[in-house]
Structure 1
Amino acid sequence: MFLEQNQMQWEKIDENLERAIVGFDDSLMQTIVKFKEGGIGYLHHHIHSQAAYIAKGKFEVQIENEKKILKSGDVFFINSQLMHGVVCLEEGVLVECFSPKREDFLEK
């Protein structure tokens, strides 16, 4: 029920991204993703609904054909199956929630 910062296990996604799964059950998963400037969350889609809070930094966020620059304190929401991605413009951190949980994240 509780996870302290020093207990988080970070997975290196690539040279610019690291992800920690901070909690989940069958219906909900929360992750934290650290981005270096220039890091890219490539365009993709999935069955999950997703909400992301920008805890730090600045990102160009694309959902379908719309792009917007968002910064610390901003939030974006992605409905199931919508194409989306981000480019990190200033070193940043996203706190993301997925419903249902991301089984693919657990397989790694």
Structure 2
Amino acid sequence: MEYPIKSTGPGVTRQVLAENSDLMLVAFRFETGAKGDLHNHPHVQATYVESGRFAFFVEGTEHELGTGDSLIIPSQANHSCVCLEAGTLIDTFTPRRADFL
């Protein structure tokens, strides 16, 4: 199944790559300077930096990640990110983010 690319804000797009009720795989593409606003959700999230450089903020702690790095974001943790160098994040969510469909 092919999922559409959707704009999620200035300089950011999201595309579901695969999903079932237990797990979802999503690509987020960022332009330099674009932001993922502060939010939380009940899903556990694993983020893999396919390309680019990002500053993540998880519960007030900063993590700078580059190509090949990854990070786990616990359920309900407040988190955001800023793209330092244009790139793509590959995120997994468990369970599936029904709001992305």
**Residue aligned with 2:29, SS:** strand
Aligned residue number for residue 63 of structure 1: 58
- For residue 36 of structure 2, the aligned residue among 33, 41, 45 is 41
Higher strand share: 2
Aligned residue number for residue 102 of structure 1: 97
Whole-angstrom distance in 1 between the partners of 2:63 and 2:17: 27
List runs of 5+ in structure 2 lacking aligned partners: none
The runs of 4+ residues in structure 1 deviating greater than 3 Å are none
**Residue aligned with 2:33, SS:** coil
> Could you say what the CA RMSD is over the residues aligned between the two structures, in angstroms?
1.1
- Judged with a 3 Å threshold, the aligned counterparts in structure 2 of structure 1 residues 65 and 15 are, in CA distance, closer, same or farther, namely closer
Shift of 1:15: 2.7
Cα distance per residue 1:36-88 (max 9 Å; x no partner): 00110011000000000000000001110100211000001011000011100
The number of residues matched between the two structures is 101
Whole-angstrom distance in 2 between the partners of 1:104 and 1:22: 15
TM-score between the two structures when normalised by the length of structure 2 = 0.95
List runs of 5+ in structure 1 lacking aligned partners: none
Question: Percent of aligned pairs with the same residue?
Answer: 35
1:1-108 equivalences under 5 Å are: 7=2, 9-106=4-101
The structure with the largest alpha-carbon Rg is 1
